[in-house]
Structure 1
Amino acid sequence: MSAAESTTEPEMPGIRTLGILGAGRLGTVLARLAADAGLRVLVASSREPALIARPMAAIGAEAAASASVIDASDAIVLALPLGRLQELPADAMRGKLVIDAMNYWWGADGDRPDLNDPRTSTSEIVQRHLAGSHVVKGLGHMGYQDLEDEARPSGAPERKAIAIAGDDPGDLRTVAQLVDLLGFDPVVAGPLASGIMLEPGAEAFGADVEAGELREMLERFPSSQRGIVVARARS
Protein backbone atom coordinates (compact mmCIF):
# COMPACT_ATOMS: atom_id res chain seq x y z
CA MET A 1 0.00 0.00 0.00
CA SER A 2 1.38 3.38 -0.99
CA ALA A 3 1.57 6.52 1.12
CA ALA A 4 -1.75 8.21 1.75
CA GLU A 5 -3.63 5.33 0.09
CA SER A 6 -7.21 4.75 1.14
CA THR A 7 -8.15 1.16 1.91
CA THR A 8 -11.63 -0.25 2.14
CA GLU A 9 -11.67 -4.01 2.60
CA PRO A 10 -14.98 -5.69 3.44
CA GLU A 11 -13.48 -8.61 5.36
CA MET A 12 -13.95 -8.82 9.10
CA PRO A 13 -10.68 -8.00 10.82
CA GLY A 14 -8.49 -10.60 12.44
CA ILE A 15 -9.22 -8.82 15.71
CA ARG A 16 -11.94 -10.46 17.77
CA THR A 17 -10.80 -9.28 21.19
CA LEU A 18 -9.49 -5.75 21.41
CA GLY A 19 -7.49 -4.71 24.45
CA ILE A 20 -7.21 -1.08 25.52
CA LEU A 21 -4.62 0.11 28.00
CA GLY A 22 -6.00 3.36 29.37
CA ALA A 23 -9.52 4.15 30.53
CA GLY A 24 -9.47 7.91 30.04
CA ARG A 25 -11.62 9.76 27.55
CA LEU A 26 -9.95 8.35 24.44
CA GLY A 27 -9.79 4.80 25.76
CA THR A 28 -13.43 4.88 26.83
CA VAL A 29 -14.65 6.22 23.47
CA LEU A 30 -12.66 3.60 21.58
CA ALA A 31 -13.98 0.89 23.89
CA ARG A 32 -17.57 1.91 23.20
CA LEU A 33 -17.06 2.05 19.43
CA ALA A 34 -15.40 -1.36 19.41
CA ALA A 35 -18.08 -2.92 21.61
CA ASP A 36 -20.81 -1.42 19.42
CA ALA A 37 -19.08 -3.00 16.44
CA GLY A 38 -19.37 -6.44 18.04
CA LEU A 39 -15.86 -6.93 19.35
CA ARG A 40 -15.04 -8.23 22.79
CA VAL A 41 -13.31 -5.31 24.51
CA LEU A 42 -11.03 -5.56 27.54
CA VAL A 43 -9.93 -2.34 29.25
CA ALA A 44 -7.26 -1.78 31.88
CA SER A 45 -6.42 1.39 33.75
CA SER A 46 -3.95 2.38 36.45
CA ARG A 47 -6.66 1.63 38.99
CA GLU A 48 -8.02 -1.70 40.16
CA PRO A 49 -10.39 -3.28 37.59
CA ALA A 50 -13.27 -3.19 40.08
CA LEU A 51 -13.11 0.62 40.13
CA ILE A 52 -13.88 0.89 36.40
CA ALA A 53 -16.00 -2.25 36.05
CA ARG A 54 -19.37 -0.49 36.17
CA PRO A 55 -18.67 2.27 33.59
CA MET A 56 -17.01 -0.26 31.30
CA ALA A 57 -19.97 -2.63 31.55
CA ALA A 58 -22.29 0.25 30.71
CA ILE A 59 -20.62 0.61 27.29
CA GLY A 60 -20.30 -3.12 26.64
CA ALA A 61 -16.65 -3.56 27.65
CA GLU A 62 -14.95 -5.56 30.39
CA ALA A 63 -12.56 -4.19 32.99
CA ALA A 64 -9.49 -6.31 33.58
CA ALA A 65 -5.95 -6.15 34.91
CA SER A 66 -3.30 -5.04 32.42
CA ALA A 67 -1.68 -8.48 32.32
CA SER A 68 -5.02 -10.12 31.47
CA VAL A 69 -5.74 -7.55 28.77
CA ILE A 70 -2.37 -8.11 27.15
CA ASP A 71 -2.63 -11.90 27.32
CA ALA A 72 -6.19 -12.24 26.01
CA SER A 73 -6.27 -9.61 23.25
CA ASP A 74 -5.63 -9.99 19.53
CA ALA A 75 -4.55 -6.35 19.37
CA ILE A 76 -3.82 -3.76 22.03
CA VAL A 77 -4.52 -0.04 21.81
CA LEU A 78 -2.22 2.21 23.83
CA ALA A 79 -4.40 5.05 25.13
CA LEU A 80 -2.05 6.12 27.92
CA PRO A 81 0.05 9.25 28.45
CA LEU A 82 3.16 8.75 26.34
CA GLY A 83 5.32 9.48 29.36
CA ARG A 84 4.25 6.14 30.83
CA LEU A 85 5.77 4.21 27.93
CA GLN A 86 8.50 2.62 30.03
CA GLU A 87 5.85 1.04 32.27
CA LEU A 88 4.67 -1.18 29.41
CA PRO A 89 5.94 -4.77 29.78
CA ALA A 90 7.87 -5.37 26.58
CA ASP A 91 8.31 -9.11 27.16
CA ALA A 92 4.62 -9.70 27.82
CA MET A 93 3.69 -7.76 24.68
CA ARG A 94 6.11 -9.60 22.42
CA GLY A 95 4.45 -10.73 19.23
CA LYS A 96 1.34 -8.60 19.82
CA LEU A 97 -0.18 -6.13 17.37
CA VAL A 98 -0.01 -2.78 19.16
CA ILE A 99 -1.96 0.26 17.99
CA ASP A 100 -0.24 3.37 19.29
CA ALA A 101 -2.79 6.14 19.95
CA MET A 102 -0.45 8.07 22.28
CA ASN A 103 0.88 11.58 21.69
CA TYR A 104 3.36 13.76 23.50
CA TRP A 105 1.74 16.46 25.65
CA TRP A 106 4.04 18.49 27.85
CA GLY A 107 1.15 19.17 30.25
CA ALA A 108 0.68 15.46 30.91
CA ASP A 109 4.17 14.14 30.23
CA GLY A 110 6.33 16.97 31.52
CA ASP A 111 9.29 18.47 29.70
CA ARG A 112 10.58 15.44 27.78
CA PRO A 113 12.95 16.35 24.93
CA ASP A 114 13.38 12.62 24.33
CA LEU A 115 9.68 12.42 23.38
CA ASN A 116 9.70 15.61 21.30
CA ASP A 117 12.59 14.98 18.92
CA PRO A 118 11.69 15.81 15.28
CA ARG A 119 14.27 13.29 14.10
CA THR A 120 11.92 10.45 15.01
CA SER A 121 8.22 9.81 15.36
CA THR A 122 6.94 8.94 18.81
CA SER A 123 5.65 5.63 17.44
CA GLU A 124 9.22 4.71 16.49
CA ILE A 125 10.16 5.36 20.12
CA VAL A 126 7.31 3.07 21.16
CA GLN A 127 8.52 0.43 18.71
CA ARG A 128 12.04 0.59 20.14
CA HIS A 129 10.70 -0.05 23.63
CA LEU A 130 8.34 -2.79 22.42
CA ALA A 131 10.96 -4.33 20.20
CA GLY A 132 9.15 -7.64 19.83
CA SER A 133 5.74 -6.14 19.09
CA HIS A 134 4.14 -5.03 15.82
CA VAL A 135 3.46 -1.31 16.28
CA VAL A 136 1.06 0.68 14.09
CA LYS A 137 0.36 4.37 14.67
CA GLY A 138 -3.38 5.05 14.68
CA LEU A 139 -6.55 6.22 16.42
CA GLY A 140 -4.78 9.14 18.06
CA HIS A 141 -4.93 12.05 15.62
CA MET A 142 -8.69 12.68 15.75
CA GLY A 143 -10.15 14.25 18.90
CA TYR A 144 -12.08 11.91 21.13
CA GLN A 145 -15.20 14.07 20.80
CA ASP A 146 -15.12 13.67 17.02
CA LEU A 147 -14.46 9.95 17.34
CA GLU A 148 -17.56 9.69 19.49
CA ASP A 149 -19.78 11.76 17.19
CA GLU A 150 -18.58 10.95 13.68
CA ALA A 151 -18.61 7.14 13.42
CA ARG A 152 -20.63 6.05 10.37
CA PRO A 153 -21.29 2.75 8.57
CA SER A 154 -19.03 1.89 5.67
CA GLY A 155 -20.10 3.71 2.53
CA ALA A 156 -22.06 6.41 4.37
CA PRO A 157 -21.85 9.87 2.76
CA GLU A 158 -19.40 12.33 4.32
CA ARG A 159 -17.79 9.57 6.35
CA LYS A 160 -14.66 10.81 8.12
CA ALA A 161 -11.21 9.27 7.85
CA ILE A 162 -8.49 8.10 10.22
CA ALA A 163 -4.87 7.72 9.10
CA ILE A 164 -2.56 4.91 10.14
CA ALA A 165 1.17 4.32 9.70
CA GLY A 166 3.17 1.12 9.99
CA ASP A 167 5.97 -0.92 8.49
CA ASP A 168 4.20 -4.26 7.91
CA PRO A 169 1.55 -4.46 5.16
CA GLY A 170 -0.33 -7.22 6.98
CA ASP A 171 -0.50 -5.20 10.19
CA LEU A 172 -1.72 -2.19 8.23
CA ARG A 173 -4.46 -4.25 6.61
CA THR A 174 -5.62 -5.53 9.99
CA VAL A 175 -5.68 -2.07 11.56
CA ALA A 176 -7.33 -0.57 8.47
CA GLN A 177 -10.12 -3.14 8.78
CA LEU A 178 -10.49 -2.23 12.45
CA VAL A 179 -10.71 1.49 11.63
CA ASP A 180 -13.43 0.70 9.09
CA LEU A 181 -15.27 -1.43 11.63
CA LEU A 182 -15.16 1.41 14.16
CA GLY A 183 -16.87 3.70 11.67
CA PHE A 184 -14.18 5.54 9.72
CA ASP A 185 -12.41 5.34 6.37
CA PRO A 186 -8.79 4.20 6.83
CA VAL A 187 -6.01 6.09 5.05
CA VAL A 188 -2.47 4.71 5.06
CA ALA A 189 0.03 7.50 5.67
CA GLY A 190 3.08 5.34 5.03
CA PRO A 191 5.66 3.51 7.18
CA LEU A 192 5.89 3.97 10.92
CA ALA A 193 8.19 6.98 10.54
CA SER A 194 5.33 8.72 8.73
CA GLY A 195 3.41 8.71 11.99
CA ILE A 196 5.05 12.07 12.70
CA MET A 197 2.51 13.51 10.23
CA LEU A 198 -0.23 12.53 12.70
CA GLU A 199 1.33 14.09 15.79
CA PRO A 200 0.66 17.47 17.45
CA GLY A 201 1.98 20.27 15.28
CA ALA A 202 0.98 18.59 12.02
CA GLU A 203 -2.05 19.65 9.99
CA ALA A 204 -3.62 16.20 10.24
CA PHE A 205 -3.57 16.27 14.03
CA GLY A 206 -7.11 17.06 15.18
CA ALA A 207 -8.44 16.70 11.63
CA ASP A 208 -12.10 15.75 11.31
CA VAL A 209 -12.25 15.36 7.53
CA GLU A 210 -13.04 12.90 4.77
CA ALA A 211 -10.43 10.61 3.22
CA GLY A 212 -9.64 12.82 0.23
CA GLU A 213 -8.97 15.88 2.35
CA LEU A 214 -6.92 13.86 4.83
CA ARG A 215 -4.74 12.54 2.00
CA GLU A 216 -4.19 16.10 0.80
CA MET A 217 -3.07 17.12 4.30
CA LEU A 218 -0.56 14.28 4.37
CA GLU A 219 0.73 15.20 0.91
CA ARG A 220 1.20 18.83 2.03
CA PHE A 221 3.19 17.85 5.11
CA PRO A 222 6.69 18.18 3.55
CA SER A 223 6.03 21.83 2.66
CA SER A 224 4.33 22.68 5.97
CA GLN A 225 6.11 24.46 8.80
CA ARG A 226 6.27 21.26 10.83
CA GLY A 227 7.38 19.27 7.80
CA ILE A 228 10.25 21.66 7.13
CA VAL A 229 11.39 21.40 10.77
CA VAL A 230 11.29 17.60 10.53
CA ALA A 231 13.16 17.53 7.21
CA ARG A 232 15.91 19.79 8.54
CA ALA A 233 16.28 17.71 11.70
CA ARG A 234 16.44 14.47 9.77
CA SER A 235 18.96 15.76 7.25
Structure 2
Amino acid sequence: MATLGFIGSGNIGTNIARLAVAAGIDVVLSNSRGPETLAATVAELGERARAATPEEAARAGDWVVVSIPLAAYEQLPVAALAGKVVLDTINYYPYRDGRVEALDTGKSTTSELVQEHLAGAKLVKAFNNISDFHIPSLARPAGAADRTALPIAGDDPRASADAADLISRLGFDTVDAGPLTESWRFEPDTDPYAMPYSAEPDAMRAFWAAAGEAIRSGTAPQTPPHVDQGVPLTAARLRTLLADTPRKLTADRLVA
Protein backbone atom coordinates (compact mmCIF):
# COMPACT_ATOMS: atom_id res chain seq x y z
CA MET A 1 0.00 0.00 0.00
CA ALA A 2 1.39 3.40 -1.00
CA THR A 3 2.09 5.86 1.80
CA LEU A 4 2.65 9.61 1.68
CA GLY A 5 4.52 11.10 4.63
CA PHE A 6 4.18 14.69 5.76
CA ILE A 7 6.64 16.84 7.68
CA GLY A 8 4.50 19.84 8.46
CA SER A 9 0.73 19.48 8.59
CA GLY A 10 -0.57 23.01 8.18
CA ASN A 11 -3.07 24.08 5.54
CA ILE A 12 -1.01 22.97 2.56
CA GLY A 13 -0.04 19.60 4.04
CA THR A 14 -3.53 18.85 5.29
CA ASN A 15 -5.18 19.71 1.97
CA ILE A 16 -2.73 17.49 0.09
CA ALA A 17 -3.37 14.73 2.65
CA ARG A 18 -7.11 14.93 1.96
CA LEU A 19 -6.48 14.43 -1.74
CA ALA A 20 -4.14 11.52 -1.01
CA VAL A 21 -6.70 9.73 1.16
CA ALA A 22 -9.36 10.26 -1.52
CA ALA A 23 -6.93 8.67 -4.01
CA GLY A 24 -6.47 5.59 -1.82
CA ILE A 25 -3.07 6.57 -0.45
CA ASP A 26 -2.24 6.15 3.24
CA VAL A 27 -0.88 9.26 4.97
CA VAL A 28 1.39 9.76 7.97
CA LEU A 29 1.22 13.28 9.37
CA SER A 30 3.73 15.04 11.59
CA ASN A 31 4.50 18.48 12.91
CA SER A 32 6.86 20.17 15.35
CA ARG A 33 4.40 19.98 18.26
CA GLY A 34 3.93 16.23 18.54
CA PRO A 35 1.56 13.56 17.16
CA GLU A 36 -1.06 14.17 19.84
CA THR A 37 -1.78 17.64 18.41
CA LEU A 38 -2.91 16.05 15.14
CA ALA A 39 -5.62 13.84 16.65
CA ALA A 40 -8.52 15.86 15.24
CA THR A 41 -6.99 15.96 11.75
CA VAL A 42 -6.34 12.21 11.78
CA ALA A 43 -9.91 11.56 12.93
CA GLU A 44 -11.23 13.69 10.08
CA LEU A 45 -9.09 11.92 7.49
CA GLY A 46 -10.13 8.47 8.67
CA GLU A 47 -8.54 5.06 8.78
CA ARG A 48 -5.92 5.77 6.12
CA ALA A 49 -4.32 8.46 8.33
CA ARG A 50 -2.11 8.36 11.39
CA ALA A 51 0.14 10.80 13.22
CA ALA A 52 3.82 10.33 14.03
CA THR A 53 7.05 12.20 14.62
CA PRO A 54 8.77 13.86 11.64
CA GLU A 55 11.40 11.12 11.52
CA GLU A 56 8.75 8.40 11.62
CA ALA A 57 6.73 10.12 8.88
CA ALA A 58 9.87 10.41 6.75
CA ARG A 59 10.70 6.73 7.13
CA ALA A 60 7.11 5.62 6.49
CA GLY A 61 6.55 7.56 3.27
CA ASP A 62 7.09 6.25 -0.23
CA TRP A 63 7.16 9.98 -0.93
CA VAL A 64 7.41 12.75 1.67
CA VAL A 65 5.86 16.22 1.51
CA VAL A 66 7.87 18.86 3.37
CA SER A 67 5.76 21.89 4.23
CA ILE A 68 7.48 23.92 6.92
CA PRO A 69 8.86 27.47 7.26
CA LEU A 70 12.22 27.89 5.57
CA ALA A 71 13.72 28.96 8.90
CA ALA A 72 13.21 25.37 10.15
CA TYR A 73 14.66 23.49 7.17
CA GLU A 74 17.84 22.46 9.00
CA GLN A 75 15.66 20.49 11.43
CA LEU A 76 14.57 18.10 8.67
CA PRO A 77 15.73 14.52 9.42
CA VAL A 78 18.54 13.94 6.94
CA ALA A 79 19.07 10.21 7.50
CA ALA A 80 15.36 9.36 7.48
CA LEU A 81 14.84 11.18 4.18
CA ALA A 82 17.86 9.68 2.41
CA GLY A 83 16.80 8.02 -0.83
CA LYS A 84 13.26 9.43 -0.63
CA VAL A 85 11.45 11.53 -3.20
CA VAL A 86 10.77 14.70 -1.23
CA LEU A 87 8.13 17.17 -2.45
CA ASP A 88 9.35 20.55 -1.25
CA THR A 89 6.60 23.18 -0.82
CA ILE A 90 8.83 25.64 1.05
CA ASN A 91 8.88 29.31 0.10
CA TYR A 92 11.19 32.06 1.33
CA TYR A 93 9.47 34.98 3.05
CA PRO A 94 12.19 37.24 4.49
CA TYR A 95 9.86 38.94 6.98
CA ARG A 96 9.03 35.50 8.46
CA ASP A 97 12.22 33.50 7.91
CA GLY A 98 14.91 36.15 8.41
CA ARG A 99 17.30 37.20 5.68
CA VAL A 100 19.28 34.59 3.75
CA GLU A 101 21.99 36.20 1.65
CA ALA A 102 22.25 33.36 -0.87
CA LEU A 103 18.55 33.75 -1.64
CA ASP A 104 18.49 37.55 -1.53
CA THR A 105 21.26 37.75 -4.11
CA GLY A 106 19.96 34.96 -6.35
CA LYS A 107 23.02 32.78 -5.74
CA SER A 108 20.71 29.93 -4.77
CA THR A 109 17.05 28.98 -4.91
CA THR A 110 15.11 27.90 -1.84
CA SER A 111 14.99 24.30 -3.01
CA GLU A 112 18.72 24.21 -3.76
CA LEU A 113 19.31 25.29 -0.17
CA VAL A 114 17.04 22.54 1.16
CA GLN A 115 18.55 19.95 -1.20
CA GLU A 116 22.04 20.84 0.05
CA HIS A 117 20.88 19.99 3.57
CA LEU A 118 19.09 16.82 2.44
CA ALA A 119 22.06 15.57 0.46
CA GLY A 120 20.80 11.98 0.24
CA ALA A 121 17.21 12.84 -0.74
CA LYS A 122 15.74 13.47 -4.19
CA LEU A 123 14.10 16.85 -3.91
CA VAL A 124 11.30 17.96 -6.22
CA LYS A 125 9.85 21.46 -5.86
CA ALA A 126 6.05 21.24 -5.95
CA PHE A 127 2.83 22.71 -4.51
CA ASN A 128 4.59 25.94 -3.47
CA ASN A 129 2.96 28.23 -6.05
CA ILE A 130 -0.71 27.50 -5.37
CA SER A 131 -2.76 28.86 -2.45
CA ASP A 132 -3.70 26.19 0.05
CA PHE A 133 -7.44 26.73 -0.45
CA HIS A 134 -7.11 26.21 -4.21
CA ILE A 135 -5.62 22.75 -3.76
CA PRO A 136 -8.94 21.00 -2.99
CA SER A 137 -11.09 23.22 -5.21
CA LEU A 138 -8.99 22.78 -8.37
CA ALA A 139 -8.16 19.07 -8.13
CA ARG A 140 -9.75 17.08 -10.96
CA PRO A 141 -9.69 13.45 -12.16
CA ALA A 142 -7.19 12.47 -14.85
CA GLY A 143 -8.45 13.39 -18.29
CA ALA A 144 -10.81 16.13 -17.09
CA ALA A 145 -11.09 18.99 -19.58
CA ASP A 146 -10.63 21.58 -16.84
CA ARG A 147 -7.63 20.00 -15.14
CA THR A 148 -5.13 22.41 -13.58
CA ALA A 149 -1.36 22.16 -14.03
CA LEU A 150 1.30 22.70 -11.37
CA PRO A 151 5.00 23.31 -12.01
CA ILE A 152 7.69 21.01 -10.65
CA ALA A 153 11.48 21.18 -10.67
CA GLY A 154 14.12 18.67 -9.65
CA ASP A 155 17.66 17.50 -10.36
CA ASP A 156 16.79 13.79 -10.63
CA PRO A 157 14.63 13.07 -13.73
CA ARG A 158 13.30 9.80 -12.30
CA ALA A 159 12.32 11.52 -9.06
CA SER A 160 10.57 14.28 -11.01
CA ALA A 161 8.66 11.67 -13.01
CA ASP A 162 7.72 9.84 -9.80
CA ALA A 163 6.52 13.10 -8.26
CA ALA A 164 4.52 13.90 -11.40
CA ASP A 165 2.80 10.50 -11.20
CA LEU A 166 1.88 11.14 -7.57
CA ILE A 167 0.60 14.64 -8.31
CA SER A 168 -1.51 13.23 -11.13
CA ARG A 169 -3.09 10.79 -8.68
CA LEU A 170 -3.82 13.76 -6.42
CA GLY A 171 -5.67 15.58 -9.21
CA PHE A 172 -3.26 17.81 -11.13
CA ASP A 173 -1.24 17.84 -14.33
CA THR A 174 2.39 18.95 -14.10
CA VAL A 175 4.83 21.00 -16.15
CA ASP A 176 8.51 20.22 -15.58
CA ALA A 177 10.42 23.50 -15.26
CA GLY A 178 13.80 21.75 -15.23
CA PRO A 179 16.43 21.42 -12.48
CA LEU A 180 16.29 23.11 -9.08
CA THR A 181 18.31 26.04 -10.46
CA GLU A 182 15.18 26.92 -12.46
CA SER A 183 12.75 26.60 -9.54
CA TRP A 184 12.91 30.37 -9.03
CA ARG A 185 10.50 30.56 -11.98
CA PHE A 186 7.59 29.70 -9.69
CA GLU A 187 8.74 31.18 -6.40
CA PRO A 188 6.81 34.12 -4.83
CA ASP A 189 6.26 37.19 -7.02
CA THR A 190 6.81 35.34 -10.29
CA ASP A 191 4.12 35.18 -12.95
CA PRO A 192 3.09 31.56 -12.17
CA TYR A 193 2.81 32.20 -8.43
CA ALA A 194 -0.70 31.99 -6.91
CA MET A 195 -2.53 34.60 -8.99
CA PRO A 196 -3.09 32.55 -12.18
CA TYR A 197 -5.17 30.14 -10.09
CA SER A 198 -7.35 32.87 -8.60
CA ALA A 199 -10.80 33.83 -9.85
CA GLU A 200 -10.40 37.23 -8.17
CA PRO A 201 -6.72 38.19 -8.47
CA ASP A 202 -7.15 41.82 -7.39
CA ALA A 203 -8.88 40.76 -4.18
CA MET A 204 -6.21 38.13 -3.61
CA ARG A 205 -3.38 40.66 -4.05
CA ALA A 206 -5.02 42.95 -1.51
CA PHE A 207 -5.47 40.08 0.94
CA TRP A 208 -1.88 38.87 0.65
CA ALA A 209 -0.54 42.41 1.03
CA ALA A 210 -2.58 42.86 4.20
CA ALA A 211 -1.50 39.45 5.51
CA GLY A 212 2.16 40.23 4.90
CA GLU A 213 1.89 43.56 6.66
CA ALA A 214 0.13 41.93 9.63
CA ILE A 215 2.93 39.39 10.02
CA ARG A 216 5.58 42.10 9.72
CA SER A 217 3.89 44.08 12.48
CA GLY A 218 3.57 41.05 14.73
CA THR A 219 -0.22 40.68 14.52
CA ALA A 220 -2.24 37.74 13.27
CA PRO A 221 -3.26 37.96 9.60
CA GLN A 222 -6.97 38.10 8.97
CA THR A 223 -8.71 35.32 7.13
CA PRO A 224 -10.06 36.34 3.73
CA PRO A 225 -13.69 37.48 3.80
CA HIS A 226 -14.45 34.73 1.30
CA VAL A 227 -12.33 32.23 -0.56
CA ASP A 228 -12.64 32.12 -4.31
CA GLN A 229 -12.87 28.66 -5.80
CA GLY A 230 -10.10 29.34 -8.28
CA VAL A 231 -9.82 28.96 -12.03
CA PRO A 232 -8.10 26.12 -13.91
CA LEU A 233 -4.62 26.80 -15.29
CA THR A 234 -3.76 24.75 -18.35
CA ALA A 235 -0.35 23.20 -18.91
CA ALA A 236 0.09 25.28 -22.07
CA ARG A 237 -0.59 28.53 -20.23
CA LEU A 238 1.67 27.51 -17.35
CA ARG A 239 4.54 26.78 -19.75
CA THR A 240 4.20 30.29 -21.17
CA LEU A 241 4.17 31.85 -17.70
CA LEU A 242 7.26 29.88 -16.67
CA ALA A 243 9.15 30.83 -19.81
CA ASP A 244 8.28 34.52 -19.73
CA THR A 245 8.54 35.41 -16.04
CA PRO A 246 11.46 37.68 -15.11
CA ARG A 247 13.58 36.83 -12.11
CA LYS A 248 12.85 39.09 -9.17
CA LEU A 249 15.37 38.81 -6.36
CA THR A 250 13.82 38.10 -3.01
CA ALA A 251 15.54 41.14 -1.57
CA ASP A 252 13.34 43.26 -3.82
CA ARG A 253 10.00 41.66 -2.97
CA LEU A 254 7.42 44.05 -1.61
CA VAL A 255 4.69 41.45 -1.14
CA ALA A 256 5.39 37.82 -0.21
Range of TM-score over shorter length: 0.7 to 0.9
1:100 pairs with 2:88: yes
Say whether the 8 Å CA contact 2:83–2:121 is kept in structure 1.
yes
Say whether the 8 Å CA contact 1:104–1:116 is kept in structure 2.
no
Structure 1: distance between partners of 2:42 and 2:103: 31
Say whether the 8 Å CA contact 2:70–2:91 is kept in structure 1.
yes
Structure 2: distance between partners of 1:20 and 1:164: 18
1:92: Cα distance to partner?
2.4
SS of residue paired to 2:21 = helix
Structure 1 counterpart of 2:237, one-letter code: E
TM-score normalised by the chain length of structure 1: 0.85
TM-score normalised by the chain length of structure 2: 0.78
Say whether the 8 Å CA contact 1:103–1:122 is kept in structure 2.
yes
Q: What does 1:171-190 align with in structure 2 at a 5 Å threshold?
A: 171-190=159-178
Residue of structure 1 equivalent to 2:20: 34
1:50 pairs with 2:74: no
SS of residue paired to 2:191 = coil
Which of 28, 34, 59 is 1:71 aligned to?
59
Structure 1: distance between partners of 2:101 and 2:94: 10
1:214 pairs with 2:200: no
1:115: Cα distance to partner?
4.1
1:116: Cα distance to partner?
3.3
Structure 1: distance between partners of 2:34 and 2:16: 20
Say whether the 8 Å CA contact 1:17–1:42 is kept in structure 2.
yes
Structure 1 segments of 4 or more deviating over 2 A? 110-117
Structure 1 counterpart of 2:158, one-letter code: G
SS of residue paired to 2:79 = coil
Say whether the 8 Å CA contact 1:152–1:159 is kept in structure 2.
yes
SS of residue paired to 2:99 = coil
Indicate the RMSD between aligned Cα atoms, in angstroms: 1.7
1:225: Cα distance to partner?
5.4
* Unmatched tracts of structure 2, length 5 or more: 198-232, 251-256
Aligned sequence identity (%): 38
Structure 1: distance between partners of 2:247 and 2:154: 24
Larger RCO of the pair (alpha carbons < 8 Å, separation 6+) = 1
Q: How many residues align?
A: 212
1:148: Cα distance to partner?
1.8
